[in-house]
Amino acid sequence: MRYLLLGLLASSGLLAACNSNTDTTTTIPNVPVNVQLDLRDQQNKALLFDNGVVTIPPGSANGQGGVKGIYVVRQNATTYAAFERNCPYQPLSSCATVTLDRSSRLFFRDSCCTSQFSLQGLVTGGPAARSLRQYNTNLSGSLLTIKN
């Protein structure tokens, strides 16, 4: 009886350990992000208007540009948001990259899994359960700094 009780306790401990380690969601890899954009630069002219979007490639020359690049979105004259282009749904897949919808320019989509995201990074459709990874932004004069 004592061995049966010990066996049951050991089994339940193993099951609990398995359940706590069984995470079916994979997260986007963490990479250093430290990018500075001069909003007066002609390349960033889209950020002069609300909902304007600029793409920063991964490993760009002026800093680390995320895993698959970064989208910078102007929310208003003083607020900017920066989002990782790596889709949070199966992010290790080679095609898990969000792009700006070409026709409307009003949302992001991942053509691989068909997830859609608002310009605020929120999920609006598809299988993704998490919002786009957002990086910190700081505006000082015309210099926008993006960091994690």
pLDDT, tens digit, for every residue of 79-119? 999 999 999 999 999 999 999 999 999 999 999 999 999 99
Task: Please say whether the beta carbons of 107 and 94 come within 8 A.
Answer: no
Distance CA 90, CA 127 (A): 10
Instruction: Answer yes or no: are the C-beta atoms of 66 and 87 closer than 8 Å.
Output: no
What residues have CB less than 8 Å from 57, skipping those under 6 apart? Answer: 65, 69
Can you point out the beta strands (E) in 14-133? 34-38, 53-56, 63-64, 70-76, 79-84, 98-100, 107-110, 116-118, 123-125
The predicted structure's pLDDT at residue 63: 57
Positions of the chain with pLDDT lower than 50, given as ranges: 1-24, 61
**Residue 52 has what pLDDT?**
97
User: Tokens 């960091």 identify what position?
Assistant: 147
Confidence (pTM) = 0.80
Our CA angle for 60, 65, 69, nearest 5°, is 105
Domains of the chain: 26-147 (2.102.10.10)
Distance CA 20, CA 15 (A): 9
Could you count the other beta carbons within 10 Å of the beta carbon of residue 125?
12
